[in-house]
Structure 1
Amino acid sequence: MAEMNNKLDNGTLSEIKSLLWGNDLKDEVFSRWTQGFVFGSDERTALVQYEGGPCAVIAPVQGFVVKNALFGDKPCKDHTQLSENESLDLLVQALCDILVLISTNGYSVISLEEEEEPENNKSQSELSTESADCNKIDMDQSEAGQSSCKRSKLHVDQNVFHSRLRCTKCESEASVRKCLRENISAFTGPSGVLLYLYSIVLTKGIEQIRNEVEDPGEPLIHGLFGHGTQSLINLLITGKAVTNVWDNDKDISGLKLQGVSRRSCIGFLSYMEHLRYCEVGWNLKNPKYPIWLIGSETHLTVLFSKDTNLIINETAQSVARKIFQRFDPEGNGFIATVLLGDLLEALDLVSEKEYVDIMVSKLDAESLGIITQNSFFEEFYPGETTPLIPKRFKLYHYNGIARSCLGNTVQYAEGEAVLHDEIEVQLVTDTSPIKLCLLTKWPTIELQWKNDHIPSMN
């Protein structure tokens, strides 16, 4: 059941714009976000990005496209031989997957109202020029992957765009998938990424997003540079618009800061962690599928593998470590002795007072008032082993900006990865950003890229 084409009231529209763009939406930033979800012809499952900024939406959608292409109900045997309809089906499923992930109560699909008949105050020549410009941008986008991945610089008036927004309400996953498929031309058209972004916001709920972000006054898109914030990225891959990438919540000097509370389908790795500006937690480094968004200082790309053996499934020990971290939010490596009973209860272990007292005398024999993480796990989870993962595997890297790719065409870069048993002191010859970023996930990784072309993260 779908409730069709309701116009957004001015109050809702104003709140969406404030949440996304702040109080000053610059035309240049809005223009860079004005593009559709378009596959390049050189790689039938790779979305093209024209300008910097919208990668915060395009890259997560790309990640879900890859998930469905490789690990869906009907995996693609050869993604280079897909028909246009098959590629669009992957796109529809990806768009649907993210809406299902973030939905709290139904779904909102945003579209544009059909243009009205020519206005009396416009000459026929002016209208013909506008029509030609709109046709030109459609043609440029449909041919994006065939040559230079360029598009027309047609100015899109943000006020006109916002005045034409309409909302269709869907109650079920089946109905939202049907709605997306029927309107897929809108999402592949000139304003498709924006329409989907607004669908995301209304499906999640404006107030709910504000409750999840660390600073409700900070817009989800940088007002000057047009880059999506980490909150926006997290919303699309985890379903929650939290600002941080560590596991669970942390108490920093009495201030509760939200992190990622569970594994996501698509993971996240960051070059900024190599620079020690952030801490990416287990949940994002170990997603359910071997697919990761890769964050540089200014751009998002996608890394993936076809090898499902790279997935590290949760064990009783790994779950226990995450719960222990809740009681040690500052990462000190210990908890207060008085919290032992609560920790045991949270782990569904014996937590009666008599038993807790016995464990306290054993784990805090010197009455220091603390219990270390190592002593706790030696007592309750002895013999913990690290899951085995392949020592050699192929990786593929996606960058949607053509000028950043080999030959100026959006294609997956293929690489061979080798994991060494130990970190050896050796002459480091590869200090590329992507290698340094992947070291935060695989500390002993060595990479050899096809054609000796190291892919760009920017």
Structure 2
Amino acid sequence: MGAIHVPAEVLLLPAGGPCGVLAAVQAHLVATLMEQGLWGLVLRPEQLQEALASSLAILLWAACSSSSSSSSSSATVVMLPLATGSAAARGMCDAAQAVRMAQVASVDSRQQLEVLVKAALPQWCQRKGWGLLLLLYSLLLTRGCGVVAGDMDEAGVPLVDGLGYCSMELVNLMLTGAACSNVFDGRRQFGCDEGGDSTSAAGSGTQQQGQQQAGAAAQDSHVLMGVASQARVGLLTLFEWYRYVEVGRNLKSPRFPVWVVCSESHFSTLALAASHQQQQQQQQQQQQSATRSSTGLTSADLSSSVQPAPGAAVVLEYYDGLARQEGPIRLQLLPAPGGAGWSSRMAGVAEDRGCCQGRLIPPLECVVETKWQDVTVTWQGCEPIL
């Protein structure tokens, strides 16, 4: 696994590795630039480094906060090489040696965490170092291995498989701070009658029989874990286009208009272009005064509640850390006349939607239509990616 490399606002994995981790960090970086009013500007290297450090601190702190009760103090763990010139920092050892040679530091405030991450960033960003691996270990130690296992539907699922692919649990851990196995909102219980009522199976029998049957039904039920609250950055997936999964609002409409894109075995990043994000901020400012008095919402609460107006053009920017893209790739979305988008042109059943291979349909356009249905996509900066 290579290090986090920052030649510009685009992160790269020069040596390959789990692209889901990189895409999630990229999404948090873009969200931080949006939050700081820097998105779309030409930035100095030190500005990008500060924004990246802040982004990494945010995702680490989210894992800490979501595993701690409000009455307990939070602690975040960061792993870093012993010294800048060490073998681990320069990538001259294997992964196991890098972990053994790392030192562990704990902090109990967000401010301390950001200072520590900023100090560790030169080591994490060594081109041939183990930056992403140390970030992943920091995340696991912060969340707690037992808590991570409890987040999952099935404990023991590997976060990274033998081929280097990220699991959905790992991507959700990076996006939300919890390693849940699904992308829908909240929890879903299976094995009970609708609404979680397992007592209706008692029928007209005695109360004791009903209680026994209800207890058996509860034992047979299984709770699937989804995303508990609105995420800072979101996720869109080709598997929803195939109708294999359902992405809930907590990921589809995140606090900032940035999404990790899951396209079968690869992860990349999609974000609302700077000009549209600035328009969104102006709309938020106009609506803030009208909503605060009646609802108590603040500008932070409104950060993603204002979506582009129906029928208006939407411009997105696409990033792929493994594609070595030479410049920005933009997608302009316009409503398709007469339902000419892929949502209407393709059959509605999952089996037909899954037959995109060989049809010259750009998968990213299908992913986009899980949020903006029936649009025409104009690619700017490259040919459509098939």
Which residue is 1:251 aligned to? 189
Code of the residue aligned with 1:288 in structure 2: it is R
Give distance in 2, aligned partners of 1:192 and 1:45. Answer: 17
Contact 2:316/2:330, CA 8 A, preserved across alignment: yes
| Residue 188 (str. 1) matches residue 155 (str. 2) | no
Q: Look up the match of 1:101.
A: 62
Contact 1:397 1:455 in 2 (8 A): no
In 1, the alpha carbon distance for the partners of 2:147 and 2:28 equals 23
Question: In structure 2, which of residues 320, 323, 337 is the aligned counterpart of residue 402 of structure 1?
Answer: 323
Separation (CA, whole Å) in 2 of partners of 1:113 and 1:397: 36
Cα 1:301–1:263 change in 2 (3 A) is same
**Residues 258 and 421 of structure 1: CA distance in aligned 2, closer, same or farther (over 3 Å):** farther
TM-score after normalising by structure 1: 0.62
Verify the 8 A CA contact 1:51 1:401 in the aligned structure 2.
Answer: no
C-alpha contact 1:394 1:416 (8 A) present in aligned 2: yes
Classify 1:101/1:108 alpha carbon distance in 2 versus 1 (closer, same or farther; 3 Å): same
Write the letter of the residue equivalent to 1:417. Answer: L
- Residue in structure 2 matching 1:165, options 102, 107, 110: 102
Aligned to 1:339: none
**CA distance in structure 2 between the aligned counterparts of 1:444 and 1:430, rounded to whole angstroms:** 17
Among 79, 95, 120, the alignment partner of 1:110 is 79
In structure 2, distance between residues paired with 1:226 and 1:280: 24
Which amino acid in the other structure matches residue 81 of structure 2?
Answer: L
Distance 1:196 1:115, change over 3 A: closer
How far 1:272 sits from its partner (Å)?
1.3
Tell me, in whole angstroms, the C-alpha distance in 1 between the residues paired with 2:385 and 2:249.
25
Q: What is the DSSP-based 3-state SS (H/G/I as helix, E as strand, rest coil) of the residue aligned with 1:235?
A: helix
Contact 1:99–1:200 at 8 Å: present in 2 too?
Answer: yes
Amino acid at match of 1:89: E
Q: For 1:179-258, list aligned pairs within 5 A.
A: 179-189=116-126, 190-222=129-161, 224-253=162-191, 254-258=221-225
2:362 is aligned to 432
Report the secondary structure of 2:10's partner residue: strand
CA distance in 1, matches of 2:144, 2:37: 32
| SS of alignment partner, residue 77 of structure 2 | strand
How far off is 1:156 after superposition? Answer: 3.2
Matched, 1:47 2:14: no
User: Are 1:413 and 1:455, in contact at CA under 8 Å, matched by a contact in 2?
Assistant: no
Counterpart residue type for residue 96 of structure 2: N
Do the aligned residues in 1 keep the contact of 2:329 with 2:382 (CA within 8 Å)? no
Give the CA deviation at 1:423: 2.7
1:332-376 Cα offsets, whole Å, 9 max, x none, are xxxxxxxxxxxxxxxxxxxxxxxxxxxxxxxxxxxxxxxxxxxxx
Q: Which residue of 2 aligns with 1:453?
A: 383
Task: Show CA shifts across 1:55-100 (max 9, x none).
Answer: 221111101111122x22342452xx32221111111011011012
Match of 1:63 among 27, 31, 49: 27
Aligned position for 1:326: none
Kindly, what percent of the aligned residue pairs are identical?
23
- Which whole-Å CA distance do the structure 2 matches of 1:51 and 1:419 have between them? 40
| 2:52 is the alignment partner of 1:91 | yes
Using the size of structure 2 for normalisation, the TM-score is 0.72
Residues 412 and 452 of structure 1: CA distance in aligned 2, closer, same or farther (over 3 Å):
closer
The question of whether the paired residues in 1 share the 8 Å contact of 2:328 and 2:381 is answered with: no
Preserved contact between residue 52 and residue 227 of structure 1 (Cα < 8 Å): no
Deviations 1:167-226 (A, max 9, x none): 10001011011111122111112111111111111111111111101111111111x211
Q: Return the alpha-carbon distance in structure 2 between the equivalents of residues 115 and 290 of structure 1.
A: 36
1:418 alignment partner, SS class: strand
Q: How does 1:362-441 map to 2 (within 5 A)?
A: 388-389=309-310, 391-402=312-323, 405=325, 409=326, 411-420=327-336, 423-424=339-340, 431-441=361-371
Q: Write the distance in 2 (CA, Å) between the matches of 1:280 and 1:431.
A: 22
Contact 1:39-1:48 within 8 A present in 2 as well: yes
Which amino acid counterpart does residue 22 of structure 2 have in structure 1? I
Alignment deviations for residues 309-340 of structure 1 (CA, whole Å, 9 cap, x no partner): 67999xxxxxxxxxxxxxxxxxxxxxxxxxxx
Checking the alignment, whether the CA contact within 8 Å between 2:125 and 2:131 is kept in structure 1 is: yes
Matches of 2:95 and 2:329 in 1, distance apart? 36
Q: Distance in 2 between matches of 1:202 and 1:452?
A: 41
Deviation at 1:419, TM superposition (A): 2.6
Secondary structure of the 2:160 match is coil
Number of the residue aligned with 1:17: none
- Native 8 Å contact 1:38 1:188 kept in 2: yes
Say which SS state the counterpart of residue 246 (structure 2) adopts. coil
Cα–Cα, structure 1 residues 388 and 181, in superposed 2: closer, same or farther, change >3 Å? same
Q: What letter matches 1:72 in structure 2? A: E
Q: How does 1:316-331 map to 2 (within 5 A)?
A: none
Deviations 1:370-418, CA, capped at 9 Å, x for gaps:
xxxxxxxxxxxxxxxx994462021110000135x4xxx3x33012111
Q: Find the counterpart in structure 2 of residue 274 from structure 1.
A: 241
Partner in structure 1 of residue 43 of structure 2: 82
Instruction: Report how many residues are paired.
Output: 307
- Counterparts of 1:159 and 1:293 in 2: how far apart (Å)? 29
Partners of 2:80 and 2:134 within 8 A in 1 = yes
Q: RMSD value over aligned CA atoms?
A: 2.9
| Cα contact 2:280–2:308 (8 A) shared by 1 | no
Cα displacement string for residues 115-167 of structure 1 (whole angstroms, at most 9, x for unaligned residues): 99xxxxxxxxxxxxxx9xx69x96xxxxxxxxxxxxxxx76323322321211
Choose between structure 1 and 2 for higher RCO, CA contacts under 8 A separated by at least 6 residues: 1
CA contact (8 A) 1:310 1:390 kept: no
Q: Residues 183 and 271 (structure 1 numbering): CA distance in 2 closer, same or farther, change over 3 Å?
A: same
